Amino acid sequence: MALSPSQHRAMEVANDPPPPPRRKQRQDHATATVAEPSISELPSHLTCDILSRLPLKSIFSCKLVCSSFRNLTLQPHFPQLHLPRSSLSLILFCRSDSRHPSAFGFLPLADSLEALRCRRATMKFETKPEILDDRLLLTMVSSCNGLVCLANRFCSDTVYIYNPVTRQHFLLPKPKNEPRFWNLRQHFVYGYGFGYSQSTDLFKVVKFTVKRNEQSPRLHFCVYTLGVDDEWSNLGDTRQPLPYNSPFVFLNGALHWIGSEGSRLLLCFFDMEKEQCGNLPLPTLSEVPLQSKVTRFHLGVVDNCLYIRDEQKSGLPINIWVMKDYENIGSWTLEWSIQRQLPSWLGLDLKPLKTLKDGTVLMTVKEKTLASYNPVTKLFERVSYHGVHSWEESIADVPSFLPLPGAL
């Protein structure tokens, strides 16, 4: 008698060897499977410390991962953890026009040219609508600890402090008893400085004015302390010479500028904590006599040191002197001497930013172009980077999450 297909399958199954007996799972704690560790199980203060060490773009990516990461970056102590670990970057600024809002960008300054060429501008931050008016003609005055001071280049009463990372901004009050706009341009010169007092943990904006009709023009200072003052504090005549060619430069708790008395160069400073001025004589930086042309000197900061760029007579090198020891006025050293035979895309407005590991120096040219200079070969090279277009101004500083007192 023939078997059906179902009977064939039943016989095959019956003839298969029995499966091996299953081992009993031991519940012994010593042999239990250990779960993989997770970052979510770390104490919150350790996770916050890890986040503070990440690059800016990575921190913003982590904020999108989960609410716990986002909340950690909003903790009051997070900005203080992040600031000393933030890397020096080129802050880029583009003013608004009829088609685009004003915006900031950050380009991290890597320690090698190869790494820099592979980088993109970290992020683009559009400014808040309140300061988008292109009629303001805002320009970057300076930056300190990631906070940028913006001022109108023609009108003295429009000053913003802005944090591009948090998009917080603060509009400073207008000084009282100041000449009107049309009178100001005829009879006054003005400018701004911005800095920080570490001992008091306060940011201050310093405004100077100079009467044009004075026989011996001197600086008149007003100071505004963020989060403390409701009005500008008038310090009056400081008896200090004018900053002719360079803006105020902030370093080590003080604003610095170059002034002159006759043929003598002075390094002038304003102590942000004490709100007092002083000056120091500068050594002879060049064999070429000064002849009262202090405008040929430019003051800046490179590698956390003051530098002076000396644009000598045509045909002579451009000398860049660096103050190696801030406490020693005699520590000025001729660091770079650059011949005038420069590429056509370069100009005299060279501002060193950072010395790389191999000795190459990063510089900006007219605030719009990034270049490298090799002190051995004496050659310049344009540094191309991605993700940045049509930027009008740049300044070197560290991005931060510091809050603004009274910000909008």
Give which of 116, 60, 64, 53 is closest to 87, Cα–Cα.
Answer: 53
Question: 401 and 362 in contact (C-beta within 8 Å)?
Answer: no
Give which of 50, 51, 46, 77 is closest to 64, Cα–Cα.
Answer: 51
Listed in sequence order, the DSSP H helices in 118-246 are: 181-187
Question: 280 and 265 in contact (C-beta within 8 Å)?
Answer: no
Which stretch of 141-145, 197-201, 240-244 has the lowest confidence by average pLDDT?
240-244
305 SS3 class: strand
Question: 187 and 217 in contact (C-beta within 8 Å)?
Answer: no
31 SS3 class: helix
153 SS3 class: coil
pLDDT band at 21; cut points 50, 70, 90 = low
- pLDDT of residue 122 exceeding 70: no
Average pLDDT value over all residues in the chain: 81
pLDDT, position 183:
43
Give which of 108, 229, 209, 127 is closest to 168, Cα–Cα.
Answer: 127
Indicate the Cα dihedral angle 300, 302, 304, 309, nearest 10°: -40
Q: What average pLDDT score do residues 34-45 get?
A: 76
- pLDDT of residue 186 exceeding 50: no
pLDDT, position 181:
40
- pLDDT of residue 123 exceeding 50: yes
Question: 131 and 160 in contact (C-beta within 8 Å)?
Answer: yes
pLDDT band at 408; cut points 50, 70, 90 = low
Question: 191 and 219 in contact (C-beta within 8 Å)?
Answer: no
Which stretch of 47-61, 262-276, 376-390 has the lowest confidence by average pLDDT?
376-390
Q: What is the pLDDT of residues 313-343, one digit of tens each?
A: 777 888 999 999 998 888 999 999 988 777 7
pLDDT band at 376; cut points 50, 70, 90 = very high
Beta bridge partners of 140: 150
